[in-house]
Structure 1
Amino acid sequence: MINLFKIYNPINILWLAVLLFITRIGYLAQLPGKVEFIFVEPFARLLIPVSYEYAFAPFTNIFLAALLILVQAVLVNYMVNHFNLLGKPSFLPALMYVTVTALFTPFMVLSAPLICNFLVIWMLFKLLSLYKSDDAKSTAYDLGIIVALGSLIYLPYIYLFLSIWIALIIFKPFNWREWISGVLGYFTVFFFFAVFYYLNNRLGSFYDIWAPLGTKFPAIHIKYINYLVLVPVLLILVLYFFKLQQNYFKSYVQVRKSFQLLFIIFLIAGFSFYVKSEFNLNHFLLCAVPAAVFFSYYFINAHIKWFYESLYLLLLISIIYFQFNTF
């Protein structure tokens, strides 16, 4: 499987579609009666004055989510190859993205974090392009707008604003105008949103939008046996860090800095879950894009075929097994 996707062959898109079905077969066999789809935050609900939460039947919901994941996988693959993050073109990033987004059943349905992953990919295109840009003010402004749009869909996305400033630190010499441009981009969207609130006589509650940012970490009750699927994931991440360490100073400066940024985005996306009063596992879909790149880096540089093929097979088996066995 891994060797097949190490080759840059567009036919692999068909194999991705097959893998999407295989990694969801357990969930499809035990479809719930209904699946809720929340597209925007409650404070932005005025923008969509129709009922849509249960507009899709469960099978349709899962099918549409799989279609979006396939499109996102191709976009992630294009991004990684465009910036040459792995050293040679392949379809491994797409394979890893499809795999990571099948780890848990909440990842397999339509959700706000899944929609936001389009914005994560868009942001990464712009962030990684900062390295070769002479003037980053317009890019930073655009990035601020993207973060604001993501915040309307899913409030924890607001913390990805930090990635704009961190990217400017990593890729560019300090220029206060570039730092301010990101802030202006963010507030441009919310200025028009405030006008919308005013026209609907709700300006008084506009300031409550950011109240969740001051909440405490939610109570999390974890049934650890359901998370054993993460054992091969953690092993792959450990092996990735070893490979990255071995090749770090052999890589181009841009590649090294890009992996620094991806790791920081991975951490920001992961730890921003506390903004929601209820713990939702689908939040961690925001970590899927950088995780897919990390996995790809290990597998593209792994040399012991029987080991890395067996490791990926173990991950696939774990995903399917835990769909049928929720304990």
Structure 2
Amino acid sequence: MINLFRTYNPLNAIWLAVLLIILRLGYIIDAPDQIQFIFVEPFARLLIPADYEFALSPMMNISLAGVLVFLQALWFNSMVNSFNLLGKPTFLPALMYVVLSALFVPFLTLSAPLICNFLILAMLQKLFATYKIPDAKSVAYDLGMIVALGALIYLPFIFMFIIIWAGLVVFRPFNWREWAAAVIGFATIFFFLAVIYYLTDRLPLFVKIWLPLASAFPTTIHISSYNYLVLVPVAVILLLCFLKVSQLFFRSYVQTRKSFQLLLVLTIVAGLSFYIKKEFHLEHFLLCALPLAIFFSYYFLYASKRWFYESLFVLLVASIIYFQFNTF
């Protein structure tokens, strides 16, 4: 299957849709009676007063999540190819994102992190484009607004503000106006939220929005041991990817090297930002799926031993399906 997706062929979208359905089939067959979907943070419920958490049936919830993943995968693949991040046109980024977005059962339903992946795509597209533009103040302002909107949906997304400044450091010469524009863009959204709080006589509660940011970082993370098993092929692929990147890194274009540096920072920031949520859920790590998909694509695009990388990919897909049917 890897060889099929190595080349850029629009017809691969059909096979991508088939794989997406297969990866969700186990959960569809044994879906719970109700699936909760929380679209915004509690402090932003003033913007959406209606009850919607259980408005969708389980089948509709899973199906809609699959459609969103499919659309994100196509957008993601188009963006990677347009900026030539992998050096060759390919359909592997879409394939890797579809697979990684099915890694754990909580990934298969509608969730705030899944919605926020659209915002990450928008951020990456704007940040990659700043490399060749003379003035990025308006782009930085837009990026600040995007992070603020993401924080309304899912509070840990607020740490994506680090990615804005990291992107400006990587792609741009220092310009304090661009850095300030990002702050102003972020503040604009929360200024209007504060106005809504004021008009509804809840302004003292506005301060409590920021209290989770002072939470202590946890020393332990409780995840089922069976979830670690599905991560074994992921860890192997990631290790092989970094070995491949280290071999070819300095042969790449400067923009490509800078982009990979930003993606590494994005993976770390997204992965570690979970701690400000009182109730930790695995779907948080969907925020890491996009940058990891590029790293995975890089390995599978340049790997030379077909029998090995095809077997490794089959093992990854098989383990995902197996743990959907076996929850133990």
| TM tier, smaller | over 0.9
**Counterpart check, 1:299 vs 2:316:** no
Partner of 1:231: 232
Q: 2:180 corresponds to which letter in structure 1? A: I
1:220-241, Cα deviation, whole Å (9 max, x unpaired): 3222123200000000100110
Unaligned runs of at least 5 residues, structure 1: none
Which residue does 1:24 correspond to in 2?
Answer: 24
Give 5+ residue unaligned stretches, structure 2. Answer: none
Amino acid of the structure 1 residue aligned with 2:5: F
Over residues 186-237 of structure 1, what are the superposed CA-to-partner deviations in whole Å (9 max), with x where a residue is unaligned?
0011111111111111111111111111112356322212320000000010
Deviations 1:112-151 (Å, cap 9, x if unpaired)? 0000000000000011111111111111010000000000
1:1-327 to 2 correspondence within 5 Å? Answer: 1-217=1-217, 220-327=221-328
| Alpha-carbon distance in structure 2 between the residues aligned to 1:247 and 1:97 | 22
Per-residue CA deviations over 1:151-181 (Å, capped at 9, x if unaligned) read 0000000000001111111111111111101
SS of 1:229's equivalent in the other structure is helix
Across the two proteins, how many residue pairs are aligned to each other?
Answer: 327
Shift of 1:30: 0.9
TM-score (norm 2): 0.98
The answer (yes or no) to whether the contact 1:226–1:326 under 8 Å persists in 2 is: no
How far residue 278 of structure 1 moved from its aligned partner, in angstroms, is: 1.2
C-alpha distance in structure 2 between counterparts of 1:160 and 1:17, whole Å: 30
CA RMSD of the aligned region, Å? 0.9
Shift of 1:7: 1.3
Aligned-residue sequence identity (percent) comes to 63
**Matched residues in 1 for 2:254 and 2:227: separation?**
40
CA distance in 1, matches of 2:82, 2:110: 28
Contact 1:6 1:300 in 2 (8 A): yes
Q: 2-side partners of 1:225 and 1:188: how far apart?
A: 44
Structure 2 CA distance, aligned partners of 1:2 and 1:222?
A: 30
Equivalent residues of 1:215, 1:277 under 8 A apart: no
* Letter aligned with residue 91 of structure 1: F
Q: In structure 2, how many angstroms separate the alpha carbons of the residues matched to 1:152 and 1:223?
A: 29
Report the 3-state secondary structure (helix = DSSP H, G, I; strand = E; otherwise coil) of the residue aligned with 1:62.
Answer: helix
Runs of 4+ that moved beyond 3 A: 217-220
Q: 1:279: Cα distance to partner?
A: 1.2
